[in-house]
Chains A and B, each alone.
Chain A
């Protein structure tokens, strides 16, 4: 059964600092997604990673995928308050898709 674990579940960080969110999954996958959700809002698609070693960057966020380790990371560089949100990873495998529990990120001044 496909299981997806994210950590940490809660992350409070200072503006300007760097941090990484981790997403581990239990079986082989064919795609991995990162999403952002602001409180009370819908989901926003951030990245889709398809192959081992894939790295994508958008602004202060960078996502990477290691399919051998079954691990994806979302790295935050020089955090700013606007990045405060909940971040979900999701893994697609065998005609199914499972989400992690989400990481609630709070960036403090």
Chain B
């Protein structure tokens, strides 16, 4: 069964450094998403992406963040100048269509900013 994959599974970085989290969505899916969850608490939506453009973004997704689909398979989240409060589990998801269709989630990347 097709699945969403994410790399790395864990990332430790120093405050102020840049990190890139990678996701490979399911191949025929057209919509891609990033979410984060801090210490098993509430999940937060970051951004959705379609046709090489951001569709929706939350107020969390400020200039510190960017997303890119650099090739036909990867979908990346870049966090510039990381802060301590960026420490979280970051989940990527993909879906065939915008609404009414199931989103499939990757296993997550645990980011720790020291």
Which B residues between 50 and 74 are near A, CB-CB below 8 angstroms?
55-59
Contact status A42-B58, CB under 8 Å: no
| CA of A97 to CA of B107, assembled, Å | 21
How many A-B pairs have beta carbons closer than 8 Å: the answer is 54
Instruction: Establish whether residues B42 and A90, one from each chain, have CB atoms under 8 Å apart when the complex forms.
Output: no
Please tell me if A88 contacts chain B, counting CB pairs below 8 Å.
yes
Contact between A48 and B101 (Cβ–Cβ < 8 Å)? Answer: yes
Within 8 A of B (CB), among A1-53: 30-31, 33, 35, 37, 41-45, 48, 50
Distance of A96 Cα from B102 Cα, bound (Å) = 18
User: With A and B bound together, what is the CA distance between A41 and B43 in angstroms?
Assistant: 13
Say whether A98 faces chain B, with CB atoms less than 8 Å apart: yes
Complex formed: what's the CA distance from A35 to B105 in Å? Answer: 11
Q: Find chain A residues with CB under 8 A from B45 CB.
A: 90, 96-99
Interface size in chain A (residues, C-beta < 8 A): 23
Contact (Cβ within 8 A) B43 A99: yes
Main secondary structure of the interface of A (DSSP, over half): strand
Contact of B42 among A44, A45, A101 (CB under 8 A): A101
Contact B43 A50 (CB under 8 A): no
Of all chain A residues, the one with the shortest Cβ separation from B44 is A99
20 further contact pairs, Cβ within 8 A, besides A45-B105, A99-B45: A30-B99, A35-B43, A41-B107, A42-B105, A43-B43, A43-B105, A44-B105, A45-B93, A45-B103, A45-B104, A88-B43, A90-B43, A90-B45, A92-B56, A95-B55, A97-B45, A97-B58, A98-B45, A101-B42, A102-B43
Residues of B within 8 A of A (CB): 35, 41-45, 55-59, 91, 93, 99-108
**Which positions in A face B, CB cutoff 8 Å?**
30-31, 33, 35, 37, 41-45, 48, 50, 88, 90, 92, 95-102
